[in-house]
Amino acid sequence: MTTVATPIKKLAEDVASRIAAGEVIERPASVVKELVENSIDAGAQDIRVEIREGGRRLIRVADDGGGIPHDEVELAFQRYATSKLRSIEELTEVSTLGFRGEALPSIAAVSQVTVATRARGEEVGTLLRLEGGRVVDRDTRGAPRGTVITVENLFYNTPARLKFMRSVTTEARHVSELITCYAMAYPGLRFGLLSEGRRVFQSGGTGELYDVLVEVYGLEVAQRMLAIGNGSGTDSTVVVDGFVSEPLLHRSHARNLTALVNGRFVRDRLVNYAIREAYHGLLPKGRHPIVVLEIALPSQEVDVNVHPAKSEVRFRDTGAVFSAIQRAVRQTLARQAPLPANTTRVNWEQVVQARQHRLVGAGDRLAPRPGELALELQRTAEPAAPVGERTAKDKLPMLRVLGQLGRTYIIGEGPTGMYLIDQHAAHERVLYERLQSQRDRAAVASQTLVEPLVVEPGPRHAGIDEARLAKLRELGFDIEPFGGGAYLVQSVPAVLETGDLSQSIVDIMEEAEEADGTRPWEEEIIVSLACHGAIRSGQTLTLEQMKELIVQLEQASLPRSCPHGRPTMLHVSAEQLDREFGRR
């Protein structure tokens, strides 16, 4: 950040009037925000924040920045007095966080403020006390270089505002959220927060965003965050970097979406919307990812002077920003683990003329008797598909199968407690990786139908072009145009051996049609195939079948999630059980 070297001067009246005036201080966190931004602008390396009663009683921000020169301290508390901006032209390329010259006077007007500061090159420091904006005390004294601003009894003279303050814990949470955001925005600076004398947060200032993630969210969460890295959005003027949570890691609150635009922490609907879109279909309903986005774009592409609190921005090219973010996040997620593009289903009209069909040579094994599962759960000696990197945390321990629950979950015992495994999701994962591996070796197992099937998409649906027909053939379909927009299917991938075949084919086509193109069409087909080939919930499994499924899941490279990103299992640790039973 730029260090303040220029003296403070009052902005010309026309400049001031063109900067929209408004409410700057809404709550204790707004005060903290303004003071911290001033510290950053002053080139501080170490910023210590202290609050009492959520900031209502006291807010203190101490920095080791450039300080305020002796003869400018009082001026700093006058409206539109700033050392950071001279003309309206400079507003388009403002590189400091502050520029409006409004914060200190606004804060001082509604509280009791004490400033202790010593500027670079000055022997003694300045002490200034204000009450309701009026100077009540002024002194010189020895002080370390930097600035300490103490704000007491916020809104003491505006009872209406005081009434709108939320509980101490809510206000304190806003402050700590803010500090962690700035720590993420400036990984090279050290931020500390004390609340009621207790250390709530401290960042190390290593310069690495990942280190701050560990400090903010803990090691376990940080390890499950995916780095956006390079290659994302490089063709655009908008560069997106940062971290996004893997699809299995989510929160019930959207407040873990942190967006930094040119180092400025902002709340922006467009940004949040782009993130949500990127996660579309990956998160359970009502859940939100943890995301820290660093968005960099030329300063003339973004207007930061939208709101006095400067927490809103306006992008010149919203489309470019939206797609850069969406692409960067989506690509990062897709790189880690293949994703479904869209798993919602619409009702096809009567699309299939399903003639009677049976599988050739299937015999009794493939015709499920009532209540029995016709599954070929043989152990596969195939290499695991290259699905992301396999790490220790993905590995599944050896499990002892105990039984089935609700014809949906397999109960297993592992070295560290109990596992509940979703039989459908688990089998989906197994089939998905098997299909990928077979596809990569051009060896997808196929089954010939006794009677061919005629598939006919309705008028609202696109047909299947030659290129896609070729892909389908690679995946084990024997499919050809049959006239009038219909297709004749003579064989299908072996994974589709169970269930309603015609409905499966329709679903697969439909899902592939709705794909948003973030991953290859044939990947969509593979996801759908795995889903439709997998055992359903509600199916009774024998102990043997369950054991086989678990063995296969253990061999999967990403056993803990299904291809849609949902968890395949739930782990209840021995400690948790003991706790629940009051043994600890």
Question: Where on the chain is the footprint of Mg ion (CB under 5 A)?
Answer: 38, 98, 103
Minimum gap (Å) between residue 555 Cβ and ligand ADP: 59
Q: Which residue has the tokens 């145009």?
A: 481
Which residues contact residue 337 at a Cβ distance below 8 angstroms, ignoring those fewer than 6 apart? Answer: 246, 247, 387, 388, 558, 561, 563, 565
Q: Name the DSSP letter for residue 497.
A: G
For ligand ADP, the binding residues in 436-495 under the rule CB under 6 A are: none
User: Is 36 one of the binding residues for ligand ADP (CB under 6 A)?
Assistant: no
User: Is 340 one of the binding residues for ligand ADP (CB under 6 A)?
Assistant: no
User: Is 343 one of the binding residues for ligand ADP (CB under 6 A)?
Assistant: no
d(CA 26, CA 33): 11
User: Is 83 one of the binding residues for ligand ADP (CB under 6 A)?
Assistant: yes
User: Is 555 one of the binding residues for ligand ADP (CB under 6 A)?
Assistant: no
Minimum gap (Å) between residue 295 Cβ and ligand ADP: 22
Size of the site for ligand ADP (CB under 6 A): 24
| Among 276, 286, 211, residue whose Cα is nearest residue 251 | 286
Whichever of 65 and 338 has its CB closer to ligand ADP, that residue is: 65
Whichever of 308 and 412 has its CB closer to Mg ion, that residue is: 308
User: Is 38 one of the binding residues for ligand ADP (CB under 6 A)?
Assistant: yes
d(CA 230, CA 207): 18
- Selection from ligand ADP, Mg ion, none that 69 binds (CB < 5 to 8 A by kind) is none
| Residues 131-150 as x/- pattern, contact with ligand ADP by CB under 6 A | ----------------x---
SS3 523: helix
* Candidate ranges 37-45, 190-198, 207-215, 259-267; the one touching ligand ADP (CB under 6 A): 37-45
User: Is 304 one of the binding residues for ligand ADP (CB under 6 A)?
Assistant: no
Structure tokens, 56: 């209502």
Whichever of 40 and 501 has its CB closer to ligand ADP, that residue is: 40
Q: Name the DSSP letter for residue 288.
A: B
Residue type, 192: G
Which residues contact residue 521 at a Cβ distance below 8 angstroms, ignoring those fewer than 6 apart? Answer: 468, 471, 512, 515
User: Is 98 one of the binding residues for ligand ADP (CB under 6 A)?
Assistant: yes
Whichever of 174 and 310 has its CB closer to Mg ion, that residue is: 310
Minimum gap (Å) between residue 152 Cβ and ligand ADP: 17
Which residues contact residue 311 at a Cβ distance below 8 angstroms, ignoring those fewer than 6 apart? Answer: 33, 265, 266, 267
Minimum gap (Å) between residue 81 Cβ and Mg ion: 10
Whichever of 102 and 171 has its CB closer to Mg ion, that residue is: 102
CA–chain centroid gap for 66, Å, is 36
Q: Which of 1, 15, 25, 76 binds ligand ADP (CB under 6 A)?
A: 76
Minimum gap (Å) between residue 420 Cβ and ligand ADP: 54
Which residues contact residue 186 at a Cβ distance below 8 angstroms, ignoring those fewer than 6 apart? Answer: 1, 40, 263
Which residues contact residue 284 at a Cβ distance below 8 angstroms, ignoring those fewer than 6 apart? Answer: 250, 566
How many alpha carbons fall within 13 Å on the CB side of residue 130? 25
Q: Which of 28, 54, 55, 65 binds ligand ADP (CB under 6 A)?
A: 65
* Residue at shortest CB range from Mg ion: 98
Q: Which of 28, 54, 67, 533 binds ligand ADP (CB under 6 A)?
A: 67
User: Is 126 one of the binding residues for ligand ADP (CB under 6 A)?
Assistant: no
Whichever of 1 and 453 has its CB closer to ligand ADP, that residue is: 1
Whichever of 150 and 557 has its CB closer to Mg ion, that residue is: 150
Minimum gap (Å) between residue 270 Cβ and ligand ADP: 25
d(CA 75, CA 135): 11
Whichever of 98 and 565 has its CB closer to Mg ion, that residue is: 98
Q: Where would I find the H helices in 449-497?
A: 466-474
Q: Per-residue b/e over 240-259, b at no fewer than 16 CB within 10 Å?
A: bbbbbbbbbbbbeeeebbbb
| Residues 527/533/538/540 CA torsion (nearest 10 deg) | -140
| Among 444, 407, 414, 456, residue whose Cα is nearest residue 529 | 444
Minimum gap (Å) between residue 414 Cβ and ligand ADP: 54
Contact residues: ligand ADP, CB under 6 A: 4, 8, 34, 38-39, 42, 63, 65-68, 76, 81-84, 98-104, 147
